């Protein structure tokens, strides 16, 4: 906590207005959607790449926020009579300075973790491994950015005895700022990979920048082989501490003598030497990355002086925990958010924020256990939890555990019920029956075994699953936003179930992230979105006469593409004596739907032609936008054609605006167009496939993240003799003794029959294997000869490595078709990492 008058000099602010210099600040707020406890918050208005934080100042004032850090003058009409207003040149710097001042109040060991991969895992594991010896405060999830680090460090309080924070950078000169905030006494350097290469001149420079985190560290844990490569750079920096290395290298302090992988037990046995003695460590993982992360943890524990006895015991107990927040469909119209990983206040906040990205019309229910290891006195902890739940307008709380029950009094403003044990809740039919029409957050410490509850509530997800990474989706959205001038609006196309990804869930996320418009193909798709609580404007591309009443009823805005539709719609509006918004589609060369350019004068005439009652169509219609569509924006060969389309569009919109006497929203770019013709972004763009991680013109593909993973499972394993055949029409012939696996995906799920007979390749336990025989309706067979594969194993159809693009190319189609063909019977699971 700091008070305003302390903060002013720390951030060298100009006091625009001061009303209460003793006001204590307990929360640092960057995002108006994450507000709680307004009177104790300090809001930093950041003019960022995607949003200008100053736009939310008035709203936050109305919601009770009284302390603001700004970097731009507020418009004259924004009046904040009772607020402290501090002006600085950079609100991000100010945030970092406040956090650094907070950090300065504590003299505890702090571990700073950086590197390209593994930061979050190492941090999370170390926090678990050290929990018995220290009261640990750590970054929530992967809060490692210029703004995430200050928020992480701000959580420190006087009860903590160890801090573990991660720092991530994507460009030059960023680390110095993070170093000042974290001030680590011990460093961990995980490794140097390709991530964010584009932000640096070369690898050496990237390494040097990352190493700046360790400037004042006494010791830095890193891999000896790694350090060798960059030894010269380290000696050139002002780093005065000692590296603490692990590796095969003889000079390594912690030497790795041997490594044995046991596939069946999913274990790796490590033989290490430390201070002349040999030790064995059983790591419960087999993948390279996890083993590397574990060695970083072991080295750090050695450095901290823990005995090998403790190290061995605790490493053996590590579990491959998923750090993701999952959103699953539950029974009785519920969504479940399953988060049994983070059991602290920061984790609860993140989960509640995730909850608010989903359906606003459903009840919000939180099932919560005792919170262990919070670093706060219980009294304060449960007060804080209750306050947080209240500020998020949670409709009902189900509390499980004896600790939380002791603090009942804190929860009395909420609708709350208490159970001593998970078992009691599971036996309460009354309580379980109330879990309907709701978003339910299930968050419990491990020993409460809330997975039993999740299991009961969840619709069974087995067989084929499409997993969707909502974090990656937001990353992609922001990538496209960065390409555009800040005034350009964004329409996101969510037609065809959001390109197969699940329209309601994705639309909610887009609404939360403040896109301006949604676009669908048919009225029914728009109705579905409205019924699931979306209130963004929605454009419908294919309106038909039989859906006009639905359009009005659900406030959907049709595209007018021909004189026939226009005439029918005007007729309908006259009958109903009402008005509506429409979008005019100009055909500049796609030759699908739209008024061709030559028809524009006649269109304008029709629109302005008064009828016998002296009413023109424009008295019934308001033109929400005018748009066109590029036919070849994904290929450079068509650049001249695209340019010509853009020129035609500009001319047509000029005519329209002149005739109307006002400006309209103009848009022509789809995803590949945004990357190729940013200068033609006009007032809005229509993002489609790019949001889903695919960049159809391949210019910036490396900057997008893949959002989905399609997996299925092996139902049965068979062994065939040479000459025996597989499947329909006996197309698959075993040329030698063959091991096949029958998997639970067929063409009815969207796995095209074109993948038959070796064309399709899928992944089983790390091996890429071909389809054998013809793909059936609900199943197909794969050749797993020589591959370790058993019944129940996962089979990957596509993911980050097995790309949708390759899959599409192998059957001569495009990613759009692969995505939209995934049938609705395939379960969708959404998650946030």
Ligand X SMILES: *Cc1c(COP(=O)(O)O)cnc(C)c1O
> Where is the binding site, in residues?
592, 777
Longest dimension (CA), the chain: 102
Q: Which is nearer to ligand X, 656 or 689 (CB)?
A: 689
For residues 66 and 20, give the distance between their C-alpha atoms in angstroms, rounded to a whole number. 9
Inter-residue contact 351 to 443 (CB < 8 Å): yes
Give 767's strand partners. Answer: 764
Q: Does 407 bind ligand X (CB under 6 A)?
A: no
One character per residue 121-160, x = contact with ligand X (rule: CB under 6 A): ----------------------------------------
Q: Does 493 bind ligand X (CB under 6 A)?
A: yes
CB of 469 to ligand X, least distance (A): 19
Inter-residue contact 456 to 334 (CB < 8 Å): no
Count of residues in contact with ligand X, rule CB under 6 A: 12
CB of 698 to ligand X, least distance (A): 13
Q: Report helix angle 175-182 to 91-103, nearest 10.
A: 30
Give 520's strand partners. Answer: 540
One character per residue 186-215, x = contact with ligand X (rule: CB under 6 A): ------------------------------
One character per residue 644-683, x = contact with ligand X (rule: CB under 6 A): --------------------------xxx-----------
Only segment of 178-186, 365-373, 688-696, 785-793 that touches ligand X (CB under 6 A): 688-696
Judged by CB under 6 A, the residue of 138, 329, 686, 709 near ligand X is: 686
Select the residue whose beta carbon is closest to ligand X and give its number: 688
What is the torsional sign of CA 292, 297, 303, 306? negative
Only segment of 3-11, 450-458, 563-571, 684-692 that touches ligand X (CB under 6 A): 684-692
Q: Does 629 bind ligand X (CB under 6 A)?
A: yes
For residues 647 and 762, give the distance between their C-alpha atoms in angstroms, rounded to a whole number. 45
For residues 455 and 713, give the distance between their C-alpha atoms in angstroms, rounded to a whole number. 19
Q: Which is nearer to ligand X, 46 or 493 (CB)?
A: 493
Q: Phi, psi at residue 309, to the nearest 5°?
A: -55, -50
Q: Which is nearer to ligand X, 690 or 732 (CB)?
A: 690
CB of 60 to ligand X, least distance (A): 34
One character per residue 693-712, x = contact with ligand X (rule: CB under 6 A): ---x----------------
Q: Which is nearer to ligand X, 436 or 521 (CB)?
A: 521
Q: Which is nearer to ligand X, 628 or 740 (CB)?
A: 628
Please report where in the chains the tokens 């109330």 appear, as a residue.
434
Among the residues of 112-245, which ranges form H helices? Answer: 119-130, 148-153, 175-182, 203-211, 224-229, 231-236
| DSSP-derived pairing of the beta strands 489-493 and 684-687 | parallel
349 is an active site residue:
no
Q: Which is nearer to ligand X, 539 or 762 (CB)?
A: 539
Q: Does 539 bind ligand X (CB under 6 A)?
A: no
728 is an active site residue:
yes
CB of 671 to ligand X, least distance (A): 3
> Where is the binding site for substrate, in residues?
592, 777
For residues 540 and 553, give the distance between their C-alpha atoms in angstroms, rounded to a whole number. 14
Contacts 24+ apart (CB under 8 A), 257-263: 259/291, 261/286, 262/286, 263/788
Catalytic, out of 495, 517, 585, 831 = 495
Inter-residue contact 14 to 90 (CB < 8 Å): no
Q: Does 688 bind ligand X (CB under 6 A)?
A: yes
CB of 470 to ligand X, least distance (A): 19
Inter-residue contact 132 to 206 (CB < 8 Å): no
Q: Which is nearer to ligand X, 629 or 709 (CB)?
A: 629
One character per residue 256-275, x = contact with ligand X (rule: CB under 6 A): --------------------
Say which residues have a Cβ less than 8 Å from residue 31's Cβ, sequence separation at least 6.
Answer: none
CB of 524 to ligand X, least distance (A): 16
Q: Which of 286, 163, 305 is nearest to 294 (CA)?
A: 286
For residues 385 and 124, give the distance between their C-alpha atoms in angstroms, rounded to a whole number. 22
Inter-residue contact 122 to 164 (CB < 8 Å): no
For residues 588 and 630, give the distance between their C-alpha atoms in angstroms, rounded to a whole number. 8
Q: Which is nearer to ligand X, 119 or 686 (CB)?
A: 686
Q: Which is nearer to ligand X, 417 or 521 (CB)?
A: 521
For residues 3 and 9, give the distance between their C-alpha atoms in angstroms, rounded to a whole number. 11
Give 325's strand partners. Answer: 832
CB of 475 to ligand X, least distance (A): 17
Encoding tokens for residue 567?
């005439």
Q: Does 110 bind ligand X (CB under 6 A)?
A: no
3-state secondary structure of 555: coil
CB of 502 to ligand X, least distance (A): 16
Say which residues have a Cβ less than 8 Å from residue 157's Cβ, sequence separation at least 6.
Answer: 137, 375, 376
CB of 684 to ligand X, least distance (A): 11
Q: Phi, psi at residue 425, to the nearest 5°?
A: -65, -45
**Helix or strand run (H / E) with residue 390:** helix 378-391
CB of 687 to ligand X, least distance (A): 6
Find how far residue 24's CA is from the centre of its chain. 33
Catalytic, out of 654, 719, 728, 768 = 728
Q: Does 689 bind ligand X (CB under 6 A)?
A: yes
Q: Which is nearer to ligand X, 401 or 688 (CB)?
A: 688
**Helix or strand run (H / E) with residue 406:** helix 402-406
Task: Provide the 8-state DSSP code for 612.
Answer: T
- Binding site residues, ligand X, CB under 6 A: 493, 541, 629, 670-672, 686-690, 696
Catalytic residue ranges: 495, 728
């Amino acid at each position: 906590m700091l008070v305003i008058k302390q903060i002013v000099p720390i951030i060298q602010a100009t006091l625009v207005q001061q009303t209460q210099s003793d006001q204590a600040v307990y929360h640092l707020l960057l995002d108006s959607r994450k507000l709680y406890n307004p009177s104790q918050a300090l809001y930093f208005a950041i003019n960022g790449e995607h949003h200008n934080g100053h736009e939310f100042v008035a709203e936050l004032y109305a919601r009770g926020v009284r302390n603001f850090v700004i970097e731009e003058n507020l418009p004259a009409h924004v009046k904040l009579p009772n607020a402290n207003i501090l002006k600085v040149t950079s609100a991000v710097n100010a945030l970092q300075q406040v956090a650094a001042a907070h950090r300065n109040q504590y003299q505890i060991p702090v571990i700073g973790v950086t590197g390209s991969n593994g930061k979050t895992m190492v941090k999370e594991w170390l926090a678990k491994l050290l929990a018995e010896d220290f009261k640990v405060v750590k970054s929530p999830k992967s809060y490692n950015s210029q703004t995430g680090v200050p928020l992480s460090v701000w959580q420190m309080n006087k009860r903590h005895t160890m801090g573990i924070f991660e720092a991530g950078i994507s460009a030059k000169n960023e680390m110095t700022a993070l170093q000042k905030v974290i001030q680590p006494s011990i460093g961990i350097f995980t490794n140097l990979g390709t991530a964010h290469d584009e932000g640096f001149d070369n690898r050496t420079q990237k390494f040097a920048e990352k190493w700046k985190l360790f400037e004042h560290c006494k010791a830095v844990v890193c891999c000896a082989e790694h350090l060798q490569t960059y030894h010269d750079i380290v000696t050139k920096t002002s780093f005065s501490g000692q590296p603490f290395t692990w590796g095969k290298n003889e000079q390594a302090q912690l030497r790795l003598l041997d490594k044995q992988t046991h596939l069946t037990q999913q274990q790796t046995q490590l033989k290490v030497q430390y201070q002349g003695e040999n030790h064995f460590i059983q790591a419960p993982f087999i993948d390279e990355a996890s083993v590397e992360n574990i060695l970083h943890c072991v080295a750090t524990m050695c450095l901290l002086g823990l005995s090998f006895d403790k190290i061995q015991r605790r490493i053996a107990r590590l579990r491959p925990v998923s750090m993701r927040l999952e959103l699953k469909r539950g029974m009785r119209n519920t969504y479940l958010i399953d988060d049994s990983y983070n059991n602290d206040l920061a984790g609860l906040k993140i989960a509640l924020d995730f909850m608010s990205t989903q359906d606003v019309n459903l009840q919000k229910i939180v099932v919560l256990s005792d919170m262990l290891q919070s670093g706060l006195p219980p009294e304060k902890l449960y007060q804080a939890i209750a306050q947080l739940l209240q500020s998020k307008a949670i409709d009902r709380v189900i509390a499980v555990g004896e600790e939380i029950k002791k603090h009942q009094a804190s929860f009395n403003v909420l609708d709350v019920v208490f159970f001593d044990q998970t078992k009691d809740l599971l036996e309460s039919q009354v309580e379980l029956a109330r879990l309907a029409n709701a978003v339910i957050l299930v968050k419990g410490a491990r020993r409460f075994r809330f997975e039993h509850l999740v299991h009961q509530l969840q619709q069974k997800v087995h067989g084929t699953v499409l997993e969707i990474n909502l974090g990656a989706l937001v990353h992609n959205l922001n990538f496209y936003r960065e390409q555009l001038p800040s005034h350009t609006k964004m329409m996101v196309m969510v037609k065809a179930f959001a390109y197969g990804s699940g329209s309601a869930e994705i639309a909610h996320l887009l609404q939360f992230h403040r896109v301006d418009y949604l676009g669908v193909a048919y009225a029914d798709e728009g109705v579905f979105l409205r019924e699931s609580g979306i209130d963004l404007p929605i454009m419908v591309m294919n309106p038909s006469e039989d859906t006009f009443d639905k359009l009005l009823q659900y406030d959907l805005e049709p595209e007018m593409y021909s004189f026939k539709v226009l005439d029918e719609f005007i007729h309908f509006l006259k009958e109903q004596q009402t008005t509506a918004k429409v979008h005019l589609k100009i055909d500049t060369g796609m030759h699908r739907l739209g008024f061709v350019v030559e028809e524009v004068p006649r269109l304008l005439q029709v629109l302005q032609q008064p009828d016998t009652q002296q009413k023109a169509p424009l008295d019934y219609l308001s033109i929400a936008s005018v748009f066109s569509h590029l036919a070849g924006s994904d290929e450079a060969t068509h650049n001249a054609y695209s340019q010509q389309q853009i020129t035609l569009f500009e001319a047509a919109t000029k005519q329209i605006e002149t005739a109307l006497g006002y400006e309209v929203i103009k848009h022509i770019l789809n995803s590949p167009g945004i990357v190729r013709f940013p200068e033609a972004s006009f007032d809005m763009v229509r993002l489609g496939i790019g949001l889903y991680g695919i960049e159809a013109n391949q210019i910036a593909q490396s900057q997008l993240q893949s959002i989905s993973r399609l997996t299925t499972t092996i139902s049965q394993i068979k062994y065939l003799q040479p000459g025996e055949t597989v499947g329909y029409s006996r197309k698959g012939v075993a040329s030698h003794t063959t091991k096949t696996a029958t998997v639970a995906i067929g063409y009815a799920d969207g796995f095209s029959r074109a993948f038959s007979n070796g064309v399709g390749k899928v992944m089983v336990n790390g091996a890429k294997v071909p389809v054998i025989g013809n793909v059936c309706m609900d199943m197909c067979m794969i050749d797993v000869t020589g591959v370790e594969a058993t019944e129940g194993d996962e089979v990957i159809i596509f993911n980050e490595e097995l790309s949708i693009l390759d899959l599409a190319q192998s059957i001569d189609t495009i990613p759009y078709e692969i995505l939209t063909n995934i049938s609705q019977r395939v379960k969708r699971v959404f998650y946030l990492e």
